[in-house]
A and B are shown apart, each in its own frame.
Chain A
């Protein structure tokens, strides 16, 4: 296939140079030695490409989009090159009954051997009727596929922790994969969407090291990509330490690239490799172009990272239903305490005044 207008080769097969380049990028992201690259390449070129079943549930397909359009075209193609995508609703040619057949063929033929990638949350409320594919609920499909998979990769924040669907009040009872599956290893690649390199790194790690998944943190995320807080390797950190902040968007500090802490950057509470892996061909990430991190790789980020342009979530005021920020809530409670103290002291003084003679009696006694 040739794109004549731009004179670009739209080769679907990756050439060797691109292939090596992709593997090298993954090795860098994984933080493994250069000497391991031949091993990665070997693993990626074995004839036996692992079959992959890719399930879409409650999602926007953003993760798939960002993978296939991966900034670095090599990465996108590398993924298609090293795995055998036997079932993927977005990219498969088959539809309807054929698609279902292909799913079941893979399930039967490769039981216990295939990798299952899940994109999207699983709605559990009302028997799961809020997400159905071919007449079956997401809960049912997951229950059928998960036990047969060798491992499950939950891609994106929705599959990992529920994502936006699970935001309060979570009308469909959306849940992440790890809450519903037991027995099969699950690894989370959260992000909205995650960096393709984190996904690819996980797959290549699995292939290279004898079907072992990378080491994870306590939230099931691979440490090579989610082992460090954004804030701890952000290029604006010097401005933070030296106390120079953008006070609002477009002001002097913002135009001069100061730290975005005060306009709500969630880098200090978000674990991800965004500052080092970066996105797109031009190697950018939100903070590099002047917008704070919104914490998309953390559980419940729609509930806990909002308001996005403030440091901390608001405190809900019970009964009234409103909410306010922590400090004005604190000051109000302190005000109530001060009023109570004032009244308490006034009563004490009032009693003394009334019992004036009583006091004198006491004095005589002593």
Chain B
């Protein structure tokens, strides 16, 4: 079978993806330390500020995360046709069909693969939209915790979470969402790469996907 190359993921989307990956890894590691730190030294006045440093890195990574999410939201509306929200949700008959074929394929009921579709499959698309919503909550709770005296964030924080303690609790719970999401995401990407030949893994580096010639 002869495959042809198609440009699917724009540079901005790939930048978003890798910023999100690096920020989530950093946020989770520093977050675990901030939640349950350990005493590094009992010497005083050493000039080492482990907690302060971790919190600063956490904050920086938080801004990177925020920037990445904002870019993705922008692409949902103004990206190429694979990146836009209408390609990710079961709102067209083409997408509804893809939802069920993807479901059958993931549950080994049928081997049918939708070669025509170059973007996300619709199940992945729905999960990504859910993840973006979770990310918005994660950002709001993060800013509320970090800027406790800002009138703006206090208003939103109290409305969305009630108190700082609620926000902290939910911030920590949602971190587990991202860890579990990342785990399943990586598994399914590998699974797809083993099963199909469209080059899903390399596409997030190069932007290109492949499909048999002749499919429109």
Q: Which residues of A contact B (CB under 8 A)?
A: 217-219, 227-229, 232, 240-245, 247, 252-253, 256, 258, 261-262, 266, 268-271, 295, 298-301, 304-305, 311-313, 315, 326-327, 329-330, 333-334, 337-338, 341, 344-345, 347-348, 351, 365-366
CA–CA, A348 to B44, complex, Å? 57
The interface residues of chain B lying within 8 Å CB-to-CB of A227 are 149
Provide the residues of chain A in CB contact with B179, threshold 8 Å. Answer: 330, 334
Q: Find the B residue at minimum CB distance from A351.
A: B108
A311/B35 contact (C-beta < 8 A), A217-B154, A243-B51 known = yes
Any A CB within 8 A of the CB of B173: yes
A316 to chain B, nearest CB (A): 12
Complex alpha-carbon distance, A256 and B41, angstroms: 13
A268 vs chain B, min Cβ distance (A):
8
Taking Cβ atoms with an 8 Å cutoff, the residues of B that contact A are 1, 35-42, 44, 46, 48-52, 108, 148-149, 154-155, 158-159, 162-166, 168-169, 172-173, 175-176, 179-180, 183-184, 187, 191, 194-195
A16 to B197, CA, bound (A): 90
A218 touches B187 (CB 8 A): no
Contact of B165 among A245, A295, A315, A344 (CB under 8 A): A295
Q: Does the CB pair A245–B37 fall under 8 Å?
A: yes
Contact of B36 among A217, A262, A298, A351 (CB under 8 A): A262
The one of A241, A244, A258, A326 that contacts B52, using a Cβ cutoff of 8 Å: A241
Do A218 and B158 touch (CB < 8 A)? yes
Q: What are the 8 tightest A-B residue pairs by CB atom distance, in nearest-first order?
A: A330-B176, A243-B50, A269-B164, A241-B52, A218-B158, A269-B165, A366-B1, A304-B165
Q: A229-B148, A242-B49, A262-B37 are in contact. List 20 more A-B contacts (CB 8 A).
A: A218-B154, A218-B155, A219-B163, A227-B149, A241-B49, A243-B38, A243-B51, A244-B39, A244-B41, A245-B38, A256-B42, A268-B164, A299-B162, A312-B168, A326-B172, A330-B173, A330-B179, A345-B191, A348-B191, A348-B194
| Contact sample, A vs B, 11 pairs, CB 8 Å cutoff | A219-B158, A229-B148, A242-B52, A243-B48, A256-B42, A271-B164, A298-B165, A330-B176, A333-B180, A334-B180, A348-B108
**Which chain B residues lie closer than 8 Å to A243 at the CB level?**
37-41, 48-51
Chain B residue contacts of A258, Cβ below 8 A: 39
**A244: which of B42, B159, B166 is its contact (CB, 8 Å)?**
B42
Q: B169 and A242: CB pair below 8 A? A: no
Taken together as a complex, chains A and B put the C-alpha atoms of A275 and B176 apart, in Å, by 34
Q: Which of A217, A244, A261, A299 meets B44, CB within 8 Å?
A: A244
Instruction: Evaluate whether A338 and B183 lie within 8 angstroms (CB atoms) in the complex, with A242-B46, A269-B163 already known.
Output: yes
Query: A170 to B195, alpha carbons, bound, how many Å?
Result: 55
Q: Nearest-CB distance from B85 to chain A (Å)? A: 27
Q: Taking each of A218, A242, A258, which has the highest tally of chain B beta carbons within 10 Å of its own beta carbon? A: A242
- Within the assembled complex, what's the spacing in Å between the Cα atoms of A56 and B148? 33
B177, chain A: closest CB distance, angstroms: 9
Find the A residue at minimum CB distance from B163.
A298
Contact: A337 with B180, CB < 8 Å? yes
Q: How many Å from the CB of B160 to the closest CB on chain A?
A: 11
Interface centre among B108, B163, B173 (most CB of A within 10 A): B163
- In the bound complex, CA of A262 to CA of B175 (Å): 20
With contact pairs A242-B44, A243-B40, A334-B179 given, residues A304 and B1 touching in the complex (Cβ less than 8 Å): no
- Which residues of B lie under 8 Å from residue A217 when comparing CB positions? 154
| Contact across chains for B149 and A241 when beta carbons are under 8 A apart | no
Are A247 and B176 in contact, CB atoms less than 8 angstroms apart? Answer: no
- Cβ of B175: which chain A residues have Cβ within 8 Å of it? 330
Contact call B180/A241, Cβ cutoff below 8 A: no
Q: Across the interface, which residues of A come within 8 angstroms of B36, CB to CB?
A: 262, 311
Chain B residues near A219: list those with CB within 8 A. Answer: 158, 163
- CA separation between A256 and B39, bound complex, in Å? 13
In the complex, A312 Cα to B155 Cα: how many Å?
22
CB distance from B169 to the nearest CB of A (A): 5
Give A245's nearest chain B residue, CB to CB: B39
Nearest chain B CB to A150 CB, angstrom units = 26
